[in-house]
Amino acid sequence: MLSILVYRSRLSRPLAQDELSNLVDKAAKRNQENGVSGILLFDGEHFFQYIEGPDKALKATYEHIRSDPLHHHVVTLLSDYAPSARFSNWAMQLIDARDHSNSIVEPISAGLTTPLPSHDRALKLIKAFASGRWKDHTTDFVTQNWQFETRPSGFETLAEPINSILPCQFALQPIVDPLRYTISSVEALIRSATGGPPYTCFENLPATEHHLFDLESKRNALELASRLNIGDCKLSINLLPMSLVSIPNAVDQLLANIEKFGLTPQQVIVEVTEEEAISHFDHFELALKKLRSVGISVAIDDFGAGFAGLSLLAKFQPEKLKIDRLLVTDIHQDGPKQAIVKAIVECCKSLGITTIAEGIETPEEWLWLQAAGVELFQGFLFAKPLINGIPPVSWPILTK
Ligand code: C2E
Ligand code: MN
Ligand code: MN
């Protein structure tokens, strides 16, 4: 099977013209031996490469490139399959994009085995490179300049779980502003009486009781927040949208518990997943109106993982939008994820919605997203959920 791959990268150090030519000659030789062909565009600072070849050989070639210290910030832009090679005569052709910024198609066409249709994605990407459109400001952040330092959250942990008739407890995970060293809110994640994950809290209940249990369990989350004295910090709770819809007076019940534990509606954020919200939107809209009218804010959870993302956002704009971990993982190396997240951030900026990135596990992911304009972050890099308490947070410190 013939695979194709397009990536871009940044040169890690200045490179003289003949050193570059030598490197390209070596790569061409290696490619020829492996049945790989392609083009290498260069603009003095960045590389943009199109390579094609048998699946295995192409993977090995890409691995080689990624481990080459000359390439920084390697980002995959396209990874696909094609019926036949496009540049079978070019084991590796270097094209200086600065010489051809008006008509990059011409020098490329010279090497094509068969002409490319103008809608071809690889061709469109090549044109975007030549016009400088894809240049990535976010690569200016250097991971090595940051160190992480763990500091206690300053909150106590309860010695005993909350005494409740409901067989559940909550783990709390901070959502942070890493550059201001502040915890914006803590998210309450449900756990079974023995500390088991969320699904174990629901699996033994009949389906008809899921929504009621979901709503009632929030009593324990609110009591926990109150006992820990969360102060200025907000509490995010997860609710299935249908828990707000199918239970009469759900919002009043929630409000009564908020007041009972001495919290205010302004301290509470309800996170809903988009998937359930869209199927009963009329009812859901009513519940949302009620939440809003009492001062509780709403966040759309797992944005980008479900099926209703944009259509839900067109109908309803929450205070906060949480970008799902699926889009976050390895974003610093993934062109399609970068393009999608940039568009989400841009869209939220226009709508006045705060963006949160979930599931941050590495400094690279955080730095890329921070530079792209995401405001708040949640993930194991900063803090793991802690049962009945607020965990210490690992804060980034700029060392250079
Ligand atoms: P969620 O609301 O998106 O919560 C985030 C989940 O991602 C949590 O898993 C958290 O432990 C995990 N997580 C946080 N940071 C990272 C990270 O850096 N890497 C990885 N791999 N995971 C990370 P958890 O606690 O197992 O919860 C799973 C889901 O269960 C939640 O996803 C939420 O949809 C649901 N859930 C939790 N509590 C409740 C609840 O009270 N009611 C309802 N209806 N659903 C709940
Ligand atoms: Mn959530
Ligand atoms: Mn989520």
What's the mean pLDDT when you consider all of the chain? 91
Q: What integer pLDDT is reported at residue 138 of this predicted model?
A: 65
pLDDT digit string, tens, across residues 348-364 = 999 999 999 999 999 99
**Using CA atoms, how far apart are residues 171 and 219, in angstroms rounded to an integer?**
14
> What are the tokens at 172?
């709390």
pTM of the model: 0.89
At 303 the pLDDT is 93
Query: pLDDT at position 287, please?
Result: 87
Strand, coil or helix: what is 184?
Answer: strand
Nearest C-alpha neighbor of 238 from the set 313, 281, 298: 298
* Ligand 1 proximity of 49 Cβ (cutoff 6 Å): no
Backbone angles phi, psi at 183, to 5 degrees: -95, 115
Residues, CB-to-ion distance under 5 Å, ligand 2: 238, 271, 301
- The residue to which tokens 């070019």 are assigned: 90
Q: What is the helix (H) or strand (E) element at residue 227, kind and residue range?
A: helix 210-227
**More confident position, 298 or 126:** 298
pLDDT for the residue 376: 98
Q: How far apart are CA 182 and CA 16, in angstroms?
A: 46
pLDDT at 70: 94
- Please tell me if the CB atom of residue 216 comes closer than 6 angstroms to any atom of ligand 1: no
The whole-number average pLDDT for the span 273-299 is 84
Laid out side by side, the sheet with 2-11 consists of 71-81, 2-11, 46-54, 37-42, 93-96
Residue 188 CA to residue 222 CA, distance in Å, equals 9
**Are the CB atoms for 322 and 359 separated by under 8 Å?**
no
Of the candidates 44, 40, 18, the residue with the CA atom closest to the CA atom of residue 98: 44
Task: Pick the ligand that lies closest to the CA of residue 173.
Answer: 1
Supply the pLDDT for residue 139: 67
The tens digit of pLDDT for each residue in 118-160 reads: 888 888 888 888 887 666 666 667 888 899 999 988 887 777 7
- Alpha carbon of 393 to those of 152, 161, 178, 296: distances in Å? 6, 22, 10, 26
Phi and psi of 288, rounded to 5°? -65, -45
Contacts of 248 (CB under 8 A, 6+ apart): none
Cα of 174 vs centre of ligand 1, distance in Å, is 12
- Out of 26-40, 86-100, 323-337, which region has the weakest mean confidence (pLDDT)? 86-100
Report d(CA 109, CA 96) in Å as an integer. 15
The pLDDT of residue 311: 82
Q: For residue 188, is pLDDT > 70?
A: yes
Contact between 237 and 214 (Cβ < 8 Å): no
5 or 282, higher pLDDT = 5
Query: Which ligand 1 atom is nearest residue 385's CA?
Result: 11
List pLDDT tens digits, range 374-399. Answer: 999 999 999 999 999 999 999 999 99
With a 6 A CB cut-off, is 276 part of the ligand 1 pocket? no
The rounded distance, in Å, linking the Cα atoms of 145 and 397 is 8
Residue corresponding to tokens 């067989």: 167
CB of residue 220 inside a 6 A radius of ligand 1: no
Which range scores top for mean pLDDT: 101-110, 270-279, 339-348? 339-348
